[in-house]
Amino acid sequence: MVTNSKLKNKIAITCGDPNGIGAEIVLKSLSEMPLDFTPILIGPPKVWLSQKTELELNEISEILQAKAEKVNLFWNGENSYEPEFGKLSEQAGKISGKAIELATELALAKKISAIVTAPINKEALNLAGFEFKGHTDFLEFLTLTPKAVMLFCAGNFRVALQTIHVPLREVPNLVTKEEIIETVKVCCESLQKNFGIKNPRIAICGLNPHAGENGLLGTEEQEEILPAISALQKEGILAKGCFPADTVFTKFEKFDLILAMFHDQGLIPIKTAMFGKVVNFTAGLPFVRTSPDHGTAFDIAGKNLANPQSMIEAIKLAVELTN
């Protein structure tokens, strides 16, 4: 039965890099879950039609034509691209970038409730002239957001990143008191607004082994991280730390969020424990955006081997947060 709530909750899902597994995992996901929302797939129709599916695909020329309990296809660009699975391509980068732009435009105009993004190839994106290191900074730019934060969720296991896609040698210079305070505030606001957590409990990792051992193994903790925690506590934020990163993730149930200082420090623990169930959520944006916890998988693209579980979780979370 079609209800107003299903039609109202329109979720845009981008195609990602058309030479990867994006279209495959999106269509597999939608075939395995109840359509208690209105999916709107963003990308050239040929990209979606290149996949084997029993789903009924409804091509539309404007969002108002979207039908509940149908898989709607929306695109306002060229439709001549034929996917070349597993191939790095400037044209594929253009399509993935345009899909992000189009979905963002729809979200800002409040024509859709949320965005779920399929994996992109960052090299292809840059070849196409989109000079971004990933979805987070791209969306931050498109929405004029002062600061967007990568926040990974697997149930109540949540990890945010202080620094994202930067070389390790640059990380210490980016771990500053001011930046940590800003990141935690963005995360707290999102946990309150999107996840309904009134007073988020935040665990903050150290940068160095053993959280620096009181300066013996590094000074960033004493000079930047601990002063940031103290300032946050004075503002009433339930921030604790800084904790050695090799043990704090074993206690994730005690916190609503763990803030890691760099990419692999945070993602190795949550992906090792929960791979396939992890969702990438962007905190700080004016709308909900989620994505799966993996990349384009060029090595298996076009072979119908991709596991859709993380995409299923990403779609479910987007629906849950916008219902």
Q: What is the pLDDT of residues 266-303, one digit of tens each?
A: 999 999 999 989 999 999 999 999 999 899 999 999 99
Q: Which pLDDT belongs to residue 6?
A: 53
The CATH T-level fold of domain 1-145+285-323 is Isopropylmalate Dehydrogenase (3.40.718)
pLDDT over 50 (residue 2): no
pTM for this prediction = 0.93
Q: What confidence tier does 1 reach under pLDDT thresholds 50, 70, 90? A: very low
Q: How far apart are CA 221 and CA 208, in angstroms?
A: 8
What is the arithmetic mean of pLDDT over 219-233? 96
pLDDT over 50 (residue 3): no
Q: Which pLDDT belongs to residue 80?
A: 83
Query: Does 1-145+285-323 match 152-277 in CATH topology?
Result: yes
Instruction: Determine how many CB atoms are found less than 10 A away from the CB of residue 10.
Output: 23
What is the arithmetic mean of pLDDT over 101-105? 98
pLDDT over 70 (residue 7): no
Q: Which pLDDT belongs to residue 38?
A: 95
Domain locations in the chain as residue ranges: 1-145+285-323, 152-277
Cα 76 to the chain's mean position, in Å? 24
Instruction: Give how far Cα 286 sits from Cα of 11, 136, 152, 167, 267, Å.
Output: 15, 13, 18, 29, 25
Query: Which of 288, 287, 246 is CA-nearest to residue 269?
Result: 246
Q: What confidence tier does 177 reach under pLDDT thresholds 50, 70, 90? A: very high
Q: Which pLDDT belongs to residue 215?
A: 87
Domain 152-277 bears CATH identifier 3.20.20.70: no
Q: What confidence tier does 213 reach under pLDDT thresholds 50, 70, 90? A: confident
Q: Which pLDDT belongs to residue 120?
A: 97
What is the arithmetic mean of pLDDT over 110-136? 96
Q: How far apart are CA 250 and CA 258, in angstroms?
A: 11
User: Which residues, including other chains, have CB under 8 Å from residue 7's CB and lie 6 or more apart?
Assistant: 38, 66, 67, 68
What is the arithmetic mean of pLDDT over 23-39? 95
Q: Which pLDDT belongs to residue 247?
A: 95
Q: What confidence tier does 69 reach under pLDDT thresholds 50, 70, 90? A: confident
Mean residue pLDDT of the chain comes to 94
